Every structure is written in structure tokens, then in C-alpha cells.
Structure 1
Amino acid sequence: MPISIDAIRSATGLVKRAAPRTLQEAKASNLATAFLCHSHEDADLVKGIINMLANEGWDVYVDWEDASMPATPDRETALRIQQKVVELKYFIFLATPNSVRSRWCPWEIGYANGKKHIDQILIIPTTDRSGVWYGSEYLQLYRRIDQADQGGLGVWSPGQSRGGVWVRNL
């Protein structure tokens, strides 16, 4: 079941674990590292997802938190995004109305698809208050992160509704 946008928004208030200062520190701490593909229009949701994943033992990279990124997207932005996608273990696509319409997000997942093993690409489908599900058909090719019935976050393969694994165990 997709994670509700309201649940993600409410997670912005969660106390998250202290984030590592560097990628090397994250790896030394055995944290899963991930590039979060998202729309910049979803900043509040991004903060919630970062908190949710941090509490599962993940270190999540978000481009607008990177002071070395150019202020205006350009070729340098694309090169740095490509570097981060390759450098970090997982690629996560936060599927919202904004990211699905974005011009950058489909490019980023296409790049990740060519550089990462399919099991390293994860989709977070979302749903709004009216029950509308966000995530295009091609996003259903990948494993998804959803809320587990027992609480916490789990990962399921396409078409799978039982027998997933805990995010913290990836």
C-alpha cells in the first residue's frame, strides 16, 4: 500500500538520528546510503522521508542540502547528480504528483537504471487523501518502499504484497 502524503508530512516532526558528516562516516557506521530523487516542490515531504529513513538506519542524500551544487541547474548539476547516483548504494524515487510531472526526475531514474543493479533502485509510491496513487507504470518495474502492517518500512518486489524485507535489513 502506498505511503500517504499526510503520513510523510507528519514525519517531518520525528526526531531523526544524527546524520553522518561524510559518506565515509556513513559507510563506516554501516548505514545504507541513498540518493533521493524528488521534486523540489515537495520539500516538506522530503524532510519527512529523510526522517523516516534515518530512523531505519539510512543516510539519505538530497541535492538541495549539498552546498556544492550550483544555484541554477546546469550541466554541472547533472554531472554532480550522476556522480552521487553512482557513489551511493541505493537510488530512491519519491513518487508524488510533482515528481511524476518533473523534467529532472525521469532523467535521474533513467540514469540510475543504466548504472545500478535493479535491486538498488527503490520507489516510494504515495497516495493522497482521496486515495489517488502516484507512480507511473514504469515505476512499477522496481522494488517499492511501503509502510509495513507491523509498523516501520518494508521493501517489496513488483507485484509482491507479502514476504517483503525490512528497510533496516537491506
Structure 2
Amino acid sequence: MPITQNVLRRAAQTSPFFKSFSHLPGQPTAFLCHSHLDRILAEGLQHLLKDQGWNLYIDWQDHEMPPTPNRETACRIQLGIGASDWFLFLATESSTASRWCPWEIGFADGRKDVNRIVVIPTVDDRGRHYGNEYLQLYRHVEPTALGRLQFFEPGAILGKALGSL
């Protein structure tokens, strides 16, 4: 079952933490591909992953990112994707309609091991599911009944704990 966008919104409202992208030994790092229209959802995912020991790079938290997208923006995104252990695609209505997100996942697909690309499917308040078109290509993440996140191989029905990867 995809993660509900309400769960991500609630997670974003938890106590704030220092948002930095620094790699600690043994801590997985991930680049988050998402639509800027989903800022709250991205922050919620950042909170959930931080609770499980992950460090998530979100481009609009990068103080060196240009205010208006340009060639430097593309270069910084490429660097962020390359420097991260994982590439995560937050699948929402906005990200699937975005002009940048397909470019980012295409870049990641050409540069990263396919096992390091993960889709995070979501379901919105109206019950619409997003990310299904990618689930057969890449691993995906779904929440457990206890609210923890787990990975699934393409087409698999049994997942693995996030910490086991």
C-alpha cells in the first residue's frame, strides 16, 4: 500500500530538526526527486527517513542552488544525484506532471545502479495512487502497519526493512 500523503504531512509537522546534508559514516544518503509543489510532503519524508537513520538531500534546502532554474541548477542536481548513495522519486500528481522530475529520474537511471533507484508511491486525499507506472522498473517503498518504511523489489509482495539495505 502506498504511503498516504496525510502521513507525510503529519510527519512534516513534527518537531523541526536541523536540515543539513552531511554524510556520517554508515549513514545512507539519498537525493529526493520531487515537485517543489510538494514541499510539505518532501519535508515529511525527510523526517521519516531521518528517524530511520537516513540523510535526505532536498534541492531547495541547498543554499548554493540558484533562485531561478538554469544550467547551474542542472549541474548542482547532477552533482547531488551522483554524490548520494540512493535516488528517491516521490511519486505524486505534481511530480509525475513535472518537467524536471522525468529528467532527474532519467539522469539517475543512466548513472546509478538500478537497485539504488527507489520510487515512493503515494495516495492522495481522494484515494488516487501515484507511482504505479514506475513500480515494475524500480524498487519501491511502502509503510508497514507500525509506520516504518520498507523496500520492495519490483513485483515483490514481501518487503525488507529499510535498515537492512
Tell me the TM-score normalised to structure 2 length: 0.93
Poorly superposed stretches of 4+, deviation over 3 Å = 15-19
Deviations 1:11-32 (A, max 9, x none): 112347655x553xx232x111
| 1:160 counterpart SS class | coil
The alignment status of 1:73 with 2:69, answered yes or no, reads: yes
The alignment status of 1:168 with 2:130, answered yes or no, reads: no
CA drift of 1:131 comes to 1.8
| Structure 2: stretches of 5+ with no match in the other structure | none
| Structure 1: stretches of 5+ with no match in the other structure | none
8 A contact 1:16–1:54 mirrored in 2 = no
| Worse-matched range after superposition: 88-97 or 145-154 | 145-154
Counterpart of 1:123, as a letter, is: V
The alignment status of 1:46 with 2:42, answered yes or no, reads: yes
The alignment status of 1:27 with 2:24, answered yes or no, reads: yes
C-alpha RMSD of the superposition: 1.6
8 A contact 2:21–2:56 mirrored in 1 = no
Counterpart of 2:160, as a letter, is: V
Deviations 1:99-151 (A, max 9, x none): 00000000000000000001100110000123211115245310001101343
Q: Work out the CA distance in 2 between the residues paired with 1:42 and 1:140.
A: 24
Q: Work out the CA distance in 1 between the residues paired with 2:142 and 2:70.
A: 33
Deviations 1:59-97 (A, max 9, x none): 000000001011100011001110110111000000000
Q: What is the percentage of aligned positions where both structures have the same residue?
A: 44
Tell me the TM-score normalised to structure 1 length: 0.90
